A and B are shown apart, each in its own frame.
Chain A
Amino acid sequence: MLLAGLFLAAGALAAYLWRGGEARLVFVGAAVPVLAFLLVGVLWQALGFRADQYLLPLVAMFSFTSLVFLYRLSPGYAYRQFVWLLVGILFLFLTTRLFSNYRWLSQYKYIYGLLGALALIVPIFFGIEQGGAKSWLDFKFFHLQPSEFVKILVVLFLASFMSENKMVLSRGTESLLGLNLPGPRVWGPLLGMWGVSLILLVFQRDLGAALIYFGTFLAMVYVATARSLYVTLGLSLFTAGGALSYLLFDHVRQRVNIWLLNPYNFIELGDKEYDQAYQIIQSLFAIGAGGITGTGLGAGYPGFIPAVHTDFIFAAITEETGLMGGLGLVVLYLFFIYRGLKVALEARDDFSKLLASGLTALMGLQAFIIIAGVTKLLPLTGVTLPFISYGGSSLVANFIILGMILSISHEARCHEQQH
């Protein structure tokens, strides 16, 4: 926590020097989040909340990185992100208070299924389009992206369903082509829910979210059953789906084609191809410009990348803090996953384990997919970098996820103490 605070202080100082003036603003921007995080920590201490000690500082680190870089890129975004961060911290606290008795949540799985589906359908009819994805709701003061919250409902649904049907799922009751598969009554709702969300995402053209949902689904299936058969089946289904959408949808084809372009010899690209791949090429230029130590905060040109404050913030960070900064973030996310899965390991029952590992996998996959996307390791899909990218819905949803993981941790540790 202290380290994170120092980091923000340094960032704030640099930002202050660079922009010049606005001293009070920068001070408030830096001090309030630190105090908010500290306050939450102190409150938890007072209330006897004994969750994992590393997750909160990690997230504080991410949040501060976010504030520093958004301020550097465009102060307007930083101000809004600042507000969202406070809202997120509030939600974090509320989640840990209200969610502490979370086991009852497993009772209402079909409600999540329905709610999730509803939340995904609404934007198709009433939503507005942003960045090629029609997944936003317009609430005058802010835009809400329901799919950010639906991912929590999806994990809740899957966790409750799988913990209930775990035995059936892993043993299988019916034999198909020599493979033991559970009956349709068991996997029907599972796949049904799954198909619905995938189709919706296709209609909303939100590829990245679809990829994350599916990856999380597979991770949870594996954790629940340890049957690689499901994972293989799922992967082949996904490959088929991917191939199909490549053939059917222009925006998917375009993304994949860009990915397949020879990226390191732009001289040979025609003007048309170059224009299509413009965004990812600018991102690679930014990452390449960073070198080992980076150009230094404010000394790079991340502004050349379109949408740098959301999807491409990782490229901006790597340009200005270099390979060391970029690798640092990768390591921090991995550490986050490690702590999250540790919570899952400590949890007492299947539902908690599934929930914790599902939420952690969700976070990990999201971080991986966007970092791999902007570095052109994978085709680019528009998702946010957890806790760092600009975006209110995403930030608040991520804080709720953090709250849930911490609650599971708290519950497990309390129980351990009693014995």
Chain B
Amino acid sequence: MNNNIKKLGYFFIIIFSVLALYLGYLNAVLGPKLATDPHNRRLAAAEEAVTRGSIYDRRGVVLAEDKVVGGVKKRVYPLGSGTAHLLGFVSQQYGRAGLESTFDTYLLAMDQAGRIQALVDRVLGRQRYGYNVTLTVDSRLQSKAFQLLGGRPGAVVALDPRTGAVLAMVSSPSYDPASVDAVVRSETTMQNGRKVEIKTTGYDLLKVQTEAAPLLNRAARGVYPPGSTFKVVTGAGFLGANPGGPDRVYQCTGSLVAEGFVLKDFGVHGKIGLDQATAISCNTYFAGMGLELGDEGLKKAARDFGFELIEYDKDGQQKGGYPVTGGEIPYNPGTLPKSRMPLPEVASAAIGQGRVLVSPFQMALVAAGLANRGVVMKPLVLERVSTRNGIVIRRISPDPLLTAVHPGVAARLTAAMEESVLQGTSAPAALKGVRVAGKTGSAQNPNGTHAWFIGFAPVEDPRIALAVILENAGSGAYEAAPVAREIIREYLR
């Protein structure tokens, strides 16, 4: 019997060990996630006790801070609606959004060291402060971009191609983050014999504007057809598949036939190579490239830049939700249909029509990848976290995300994109004394034409890569390219 008792003891040791391991997992691994879950009432409770950390731009300009106005603690955003989608908001009623939510752990000092500090502060009766967060964002560039959009629906994403650092991320139309909780109007009605007060907040008003959708962060979560800007992806795929081959020369007759489907170009361009085709944005040239790549080759090229494949049901609707790439700024990756595309669709996908969809953030990553010799860096927006006394507790270093193309391919495409700025559709993006590479796009859609521009500068040592979109504004050359030019000018000045 003693043997059995011992075995019973081993059994208990096993189940208690499982329990201990699980407890450790729960506490140490899942703990941080649980701590910042928006449902967690501890967040609001912590908020009461802590002066939330400030958010600074790369030069130390305040983007968000707690201020006591008339005895009430308020979150103040000096750039107002210009940073609304980037920073998000903090609201008692509607939770938190944007970077305010992403960096809650820091802003409320909820890490292990912060907990100990909190205990010390409590014993000594001191005010508690969250950590300050410094972003890679350039507030001047951010303001400039927002101003250039001028309230038109659209978005700008600017990155440092060498590090993946987000320099500016703007979405328009925007809203005032401080007005989310504000009661705009209050009505009293009788309901079941009781007086019921119905309060309408700023958020309620924003929520119902489905057309303008001011709450939508178009830069990261807007999904558009890329139009001709996608041609650089097609070109990258083709050059990658034919390394060291001679420049593809093609006789543009103004149209292209794929399995009986006629794809019309806007002109007859004659005999052209890659540089010219990119400069004038010849549809048949790149559609032909797409046909040579085929369904698989084109998808591989896109996936090399981080695109994903999604399923469509019979009615042409996406199955399940649209994919989201996690990280400091969650964004929608570009997508292509998972099922095999027939040749006519391959041809139109190669020029960014059909079921190719992208977010401006994704297109900025494409531009940045080409600028950085083919390596796409992991996007990052947090530069460092520091205590109130300036002690840096976390600093972020850049990491490569993926290798999209070989350096040689990137260089070849860069030359073609520079040609586009020098004597092609991207000419409005040209800057005196700065070599700019770019590609326009005018993406037709049922409601009009989206004006696109992607590019980077200076070509010899790129420091900024960007994507600009103006919804249904018309031609990429006349609407988007000038916006990009002014942003580049502002940044490189």
- The docked-state distance in angstroms from the alpha carbon of A333 to that of B13 is 10
B257 CB → nearest A CB, Å: 48
Is B6 interfacial (CB-CB < 8 Å)?
yes
Task: Check B27 against A266 for contact (C-beta < 8 Å).
Answer: no
Task: Check B8 against A285 for contact (C-beta < 8 Å).
Answer: no
Which residue from A222, A288, A331 sits with its C-beta under 8 Å from B27? Answer: A288
Task: Check B39 against A267 for contact (C-beta < 8 Å).
Answer: yes
Binds B, one of A72-80, A126-134, A321-329: A321-329
Which residue from B8, B19, B27, B119 sits with its C-beta under 8 Å from A371? Answer: B19
Task: Check B41 against A290 for contact (C-beta < 8 Å).
Answer: no
Task: Check A285 against B112 for contact (C-beta < 8 Å).
Answer: no
Task: Check A296 against B23 for contact (C-beta < 8 Å).
Answer: no
Which residue from B5, B30, B42 sits with its C-beta under 8 Å from A264? Answer: B30
Interface size on B, residues (CB 8 A): 42
Task: Check B4 against A222 for contact (C-beta < 8 Å).
Answer: yes
- The docked-state distance in angstroms from the alpha carbon of A249 to that of B18 is 29
B18 CB → nearest A CB, Å: 8
Task: Check A345 against B5 for contact (C-beta < 8 Å).
Answer: yes
> Which residues of B have CB within 8 Å of A330?
16, 19-20, 23
A381 CB → nearest B CB, Å: 15
Chain A 237-261 interface 0/1 with B at a Cβ cutoff of 8 Å (1 = within): 0000000000000000000000000
Among residues 216 to 230 in chain A, which have CB atoms less than 8 Å away from a CB atom of chain B?
A: 219, 222-226
Is B98 interfacial (CB-CB < 8 Å)?
no
Which residue from B15, B18, B37, B115 sits with its C-beta under 8 Å from A267? Answer: B37
Which secondary structure dominates chain A's binding surface? helix
Task: Check B26 against A341 for contact (C-beta < 8 Å).
Answer: no
> Which residues of A have CB within 8 Å of B23?
287, 318, 323, 326-327, 330, 371, 375
Which residue from A267, A333, A375 sits with its C-beta under 8 Å from B26? Answer: A375
Chain B 36-58 interface 0/1 with A at a Cβ cutoff of 8 Å (1 = within): 01111110010000000000000
Which residue from B3, B11, B42 sits with its C-beta under 8 Å from A304? Answer: B42
- The docked-state distance in angstroms from the alpha carbon of A200 to that of B15 is 28
> Which residues of A have CB within 8 Å of B33?
264, 288
- Given A267-B37, A285-B34, A295-B115, does the pair A341, B24 have CB atoms closer than 8 Å? no
Task: Check B22 against A375 for contact (C-beta < 8 Å).
Answer: yes
A329 CB → nearest B CB, Å: 10
**Nearest B residue to A298 by beta-carbon distance?**
B122
> Which residues of A have CB within 8 Å of B1?
223-224, 226, 350, 353-354
Is B245 interfacial (CB-CB < 8 Å)?
no
Which secondary structure dominates chain B's binding surface? helix
- Given A330-B16, A353-B1, does the pair A295, B8 have CB atoms closer than 8 Å? no
Is B35 interfacial (CB-CB < 8 Å)?
yes
A-B contact pairs, 14 of them (CB 8 A): A219-B11, A222-B4, A224-B1, A274-B39, A285-B40, A288-B30, A288-B33, A289-B34, A296-B119, A299-B118, A330-B19, A337-B9, A364-B12, A377-B19
Which residue from A223, A299, A350 sits with its C-beta under 8 Å from B119? Answer: A299
> Which residues of A have CB within 8 Å of B3?
226
Is B7 interfacial (CB-CB < 8 Å)?
yes
Is A187 interfacial (CB-CB < 8 Å)?
no
Is B398 interfacial (CB-CB < 8 Å)?
no
Task: Check A284 against B38 for contact (C-beta < 8 Å).
Answer: no
> Which residues of A have CB within 8 Å of B5?
223, 341, 344-345, 353, 357
> Which residues of A have CB within 8 Å of B183?
none
> Which residues of A have CB within 8 Å of B42?
285, 289, 301, 304
**Nearest A residue to B34 by beta-carbon distance?**
A288
- Given A264-B33, A288-B34, A301-B41, does the pair A327, B20 have CB atoms closer than 8 Å? yes
- The docked-state distance in angstroms from the alpha carbon of A139 to that of B16 is 37
Task: Check A323 against B118 for contact (C-beta < 8 Å).
Answer: no
Is B267 interfacial (CB-CB < 8 Å)?
no
Task: Check B16 against A323 for contact (C-beta < 8 Å).
Answer: no
B331 CB → nearest A CB, Å: 18
- Given A274-B39, A285-B34, A301-B45, does the pair A327, B24 have CB atoms closer than 8 Å? yes
Task: Check B7 against A222 for contact (C-beta < 8 Å).
Answer: yes
Most buried by B among A264, A287, A291, A368: A291
Task: Check A334 against B115 for contact (C-beta < 8 Å).
Answer: no
- The docked-state distance in angstroms from the alpha carbon of A240 to that of B321 is 39
> Which residues of A have CB within 8 Å of B20?
327, 330-331
Is B2 interfacial (CB-CB < 8 Å)?
yes
Which residue from B8, B26, B34, B38 sits with its C-beta under 8 Å from A361? Answer: B8
Task: Check A288 against B35 for contact (C-beta < 8 Å).
Answer: yes
Is B116 interfacial (CB-CB < 8 Å)?
yes
20 further interface pairs, Cβ-Cβ under 8 Å (given A289-B40, A296-B119, A334-B12) = A222-B8, A224-B4, A225-B4, A267-B38, A285-B34, A288-B31, A288-B33, A289-B31, A291-B27, A291-B115, A293-B116, A296-B118, A299-B119, A301-B41, A330-B23, A341-B12, A345-B2, A354-B1, A368-B16, A372-B22
> Which residues of B have CB within 8 Å of A318?
23, 27
Is A108 interfacial (CB-CB < 8 Å)?
no
- The docked-state distance in angstroms from the alpha carbon of A293 to that of B111 is 11
Task: Check A287 against B115 for contact (C-beta < 8 Å).
Answer: no
Is A292 interfacial (CB-CB < 8 Å)?
yes
> Which residues of A have CB within 8 Å of B118?
295-296, 299
Is B324 interfacial (CB-CB < 8 Å)?
no
Is B249 interfacial (CB-CB < 8 Å)?
no
Question: Which 3 residue pairs spanning A and B have beta carbons closest together?
Answer: A288-B34, A288-B31, A323-B27
> Which residues of A have CB within 8 Å of B34?
264, 284-285, 287-289
> Which residues of A have CB within 8 Å of B8?
219, 222-223, 341, 357, 361
Task: Check A223 against B4 for contact (C-beta < 8 Å).
Answer: yes
Is B28 interfacial (CB-CB < 8 Å)?
yes
**Nearest B residue to A356 by beta-carbon distance?**
B5
Is A281 interfacial (CB-CB < 8 Å)?
yes
> Which residues of A have CB within 8 Å of B41?
282, 285, 301, 304
- The docked-state distance in angstroms from the alpha carbon of A266 to that of B39 is 7
Task: Check B19 against A323 for contact (C-beta < 8 Å).
Answer: no
> Which residues of B have CB within 8 Å of A322?
27
Is A27 interfacial (CB-CB < 8 Å)?
no
Task: Check A289 against B19 for contact (C-beta < 8 Å).
Answer: no
- The docked-state distance in angstroms from the alpha carbon of A290 to that of B11 is 29
Task: Check B15 against A368 for contact (C-beta < 8 Å).
Answer: yes
Most buried by A among B7, B20, B31, B35: B31
- The docked-state distance in angstroms from the alpha carbon of A299 to that of B2 is 47
- The docked-state distance in angstroms from the alpha carbon of A301 to that of B3 is 46
Is A54 interfacial (CB-CB < 8 Å)?
no
Is A338 interfacial (CB-CB < 8 Å)?
yes
Among residues 340 to 357 in chain A, which have CB atoms less than 8 Å away from a CB atom of chain B?
A: 341, 344-345, 350, 353-354, 357
> Which residues of A have CB within 8 Å of B19?
330, 368, 371-372, 375, 377
